[in-house]
Amino acid sequence: MKSFAFISLLASILAGGAIATTPLPFTCVDKEVLSTTYVGLNKDVKAEVLSCANTLATRDLVTKRQTDVCGATCNTNCFTPSGGGPNPNDCQVIADALLYDGENVGPLFNITVGTPIYMQYASCESFFVNQVNYNLTYCRSDWSSVIDYVALNCQAQQNAHGGNCVASDQSWFIQVQTS
């Protein structure tokens, strides 16, 4: 009976099934910084393109590839227990930098396979991670909105310390946490 339960659980995982567990924050393993820039009106938000050993996307969605994921919905998960979350005001600086660059650099950005984008200001950091084996395009304004939402709604009052928002098809996620 135990082996049947394990096999069923494993089959669910392999089939992309969800397991009701508390999500764990993403940590870039063997982080290598590929490029660094400073963005926003005051150029005070650090933006890095990273290479992480644990983000080599090998997942290919069976459905039609949607490379432009602007406006796509995502599901918010807060990291428990409470304590140590980012200051929402610091996260607002990142959100504002994304909006500024959206108006002055361009509304879209590319997220290539296996190279997460990391942004940091004071106590707040955010990752955008592509989890499929093809490049994606996303909107800076959407990333800004997700940062605002997660930073305000995944705090100690919600027994949390940051969180993420995972695309409905799990092709990408955005994470907000303390730096």
Predicted confidence band at 23 (pLDDT cuts at 50, 70, 90)? low
pLDDT exceeds cutoff 60 at 90: yes
pLDDT exceeds cutoff 80 at 57: no
pTM of the model: 0.80
C-alpha dist (Å) from residue 93 to 12, 42, 102: 40, 10, 14
- Specify whether the CB–CB gap between 113 and 134 falls below 8 A: yes
Q: State pLDDT tens for residues 108-164.
A: 999 998 899 999 999 999 999 999 999 999 999 999 999 999 999 999 888 899 999
pLDDT exceeds cutoff 80 at 55: no
Percentage, residues of the chain above pLDDT 70: 80
Q: Which two tokens stand for residue 32?
A: 């290598």
Contacts of 61 (CB under 8 A, 6+ apart): 132, 169, 171
Report d(CA 50, CA 36) in Å as an integer.
9
- Structure confidence at residue 114 (pLDDT): 86
Predicted confidence band at 64 (pLDDT cuts at 50, 70, 90)? low
- Structure confidence at residue 85 (pLDDT): 85
Report d(CA 83, CA 86) in Å as an integer.
9
